[in-house]
């Protein structure tokens, strides 16, 4: 079957729309697809909103990874932000600046990747803005979700004595491109919210040292002591350590883009979820919240050393990929 060649912005927009499932009020989508403004129906009183922009050369290299991987990541990092609030992702809008030379092919690949990740979490893409220009690819996704009626953990209520957990192995996400394939912990977060008392939660995008630092800062300047032996190290971090000589543990602490959850619960609740974790949730208890500010590491020899948070600052530093 031959297809018409696609030319121009309106042609690409038509193509993208044609491939979308027809959305109805049963999907929570009202109004017309063609409107500049989508109309959606939310079931909960409180609405979650998050946005993340990815730029070629900063967050990925289009020429190396292709547009589908970019779309998958752009949708995934936003879903992960809703997971950190233990919410339900529902609707997304997508704004893109496509490199003009390849606009149609890049737009199509990007759309496929966006939809692949969105479909996995029953997220409907309800609107967007499609542009082309002489610059590199930029994609900005905004995700709208529903807060749980049980509440949202946020970052600011960690307390001294809380146990610190993560939901999976960390580090080296750049080594084999795992940073392009986030696995947002939506179901895990919801299960944890039901099962325990979440004082604070965040998804690991900047890296454990830096993201846990956000929780500590926003909870009034607390600290954490982490057990070096308890921090789960991803095989990618070990392989990366072999190549670059940076200890695998440093990769686990600093690399970021693991998209696992990091959360704190009161000590007694910690015992309970360690003994009976929610179905399908991997838990690693890695340390304790303390009053003295800063992240510190207790080595196998019992020695405690400070961990310098190494947040990824987009204004400096080399490109992550």
Distance of CA 45 to the CA centre of its chain: 24
Q: Tokens 């031959």 appear where? A: 2
Q: Is 239 one of the annotated binding-site residues? A: no
| Number of Cβ within a 10 Å radius of residue 150 | 11
Q: Which is nearer to a second copy, 66 or 136 (CB)?
A: 136
Please state the closest distance from residue 75 (CB atom) to a second copy, in A.
Answer: 14
Please state the closest distance from residue 268 (CB atom) to a second copy, in A.
Answer: 25
Which tokens belong to 270? 């910690």
Q: Is 258 one of the annotated binding-site residues? A: no
Q: Is 129 one of the annotated binding-site residues? A: yes
Beta bridge partners of 200: 264
Please state the closest distance from residue 189 (CB atom) to a second copy, in A.
Answer: 11
| Number of Cβ within a 10 Å radius of residue 153 | 26
Residues in the chain: 321
Please state the closest distance from residue 298 (CB atom) to a second copy, in A.
Answer: 27
Q: Is 313 one of the annotated binding-site residues? A: no
Q: Is 30 one of the annotated binding-site residues? A: no
Q: Is 300 one of the annotated binding-site residues? A: no
- CB–CB of 158/222 below 8 Å? yes
Long-range contacts of 301-308 (CB under 8 A, 24+ apart): 304/225, 307/209, 307/226, 307/253, 308/209
Please state the closest distance from residue 312 (CB atom) to a second copy, in A.
Answer: 9
Q: Which is nearer to a second copy, 68 or 203 (CB)?
A: 203
CB-hemisphere CA count at 13 Å for 181? Answer: 7
Please name which of 105, 134, 123, 145 lies closest in space to residue 16, comparing C-alpha atoms.
105
Beta bridge partners of 128: 94
Please state the closest distance from residue 37 (CB atom) to a second copy, in A.
Answer: 4
Q: Which is nearer to a second copy, 202 or 241 (CB)?
A: 202
Q: Which is nearer to a second copy, 130 or 264 (CB)?
A: 130
Q: Which is nearer to a second copy, 208 or 238 (CB)?
A: 208
Q: Is 31 one of the annotated binding-site residues? A: no
| Number of Cβ within a 10 Å radius of residue 282 | 14
Q: Which is nearer to a second copy, 154 or 287 (CB)?
A: 154
Distance of CA 125 to the CA centre of its chain: 18
Binding-site sequence positions for ATP: 128-129, 155, 205
Binding-site sequence positions for Mg(2+): 36, 50-52, 81, 129, 203, 206
Binding-site sequence positions for substrate: 59, 257, 312
Binding-site sequence positions: 36, 50-52, 59, 81, 128-129, 155, 203, 205-206, 257, 312
């Amino acid at each position: 079957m031959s297809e018409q060649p696609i030319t121009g912005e309106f042609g690409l927009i038509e193509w993208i729309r044609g491939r979308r499932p027809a959305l109805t009020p049963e999907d929570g989508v009202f109004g017309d697809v063609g409107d500049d403004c989508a109309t959606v129906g939310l079931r909960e009183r409180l609405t979650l909103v998050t946005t993340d922009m990815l730029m070629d050369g900063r967050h990925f290299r289009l020429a190396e990874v292709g547009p589908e991987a970019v779309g998958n990541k752009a949708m995934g990092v936003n879903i992960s932000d809703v997971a950190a609030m233990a919410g339900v992702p529902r609707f997304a809008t997508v704004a893109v600046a496509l490199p003009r030379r390849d606009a149609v092919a890049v737009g199509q690949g990007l759309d496929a990747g966006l939809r692949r990740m969105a479909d996995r979490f029953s997220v409907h893409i309800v609107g967007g803005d499609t542009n082309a220009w002489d610059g590199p690819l930029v994609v900005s996704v905004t995700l709208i979700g529903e807060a749980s009626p049980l509440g949202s953990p946020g970052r600011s209520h960690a307390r001294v004595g809380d146990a610190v957990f993560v939901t999976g192995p960390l580090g080296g996400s750049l080594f084999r491109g795992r940073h392009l394939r986030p696995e947002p912990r939506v179901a895990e977060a919801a299960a944890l919210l039901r099962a325990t008392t979440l004082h604070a939660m965040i998804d690991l995008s900047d890296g454990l040292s830096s993201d846990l630092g956000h929780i500590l800062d926003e909870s009034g300047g607390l600290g954490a002591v982490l057990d070096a032996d308890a921090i789960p190290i991803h095989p990618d971090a070990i392989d990366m350590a072999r190549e670059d000589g940076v200890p695998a543990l440093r990769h686990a602490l600093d690399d970021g883009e693991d998209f696992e959850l990091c959360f704190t619960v009161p000590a007694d609740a910690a015992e309970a979820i360690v003994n009976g974790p929610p179905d399908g949730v991997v838990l690693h208890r890695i340390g304790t919240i303390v009053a003295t500010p800063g992240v510190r590491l207790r080595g196998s020899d019992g020695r405690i050393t400070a961990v310098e948070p190494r947040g990824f600052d987009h204004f400096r530093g080399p490109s992550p990929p």
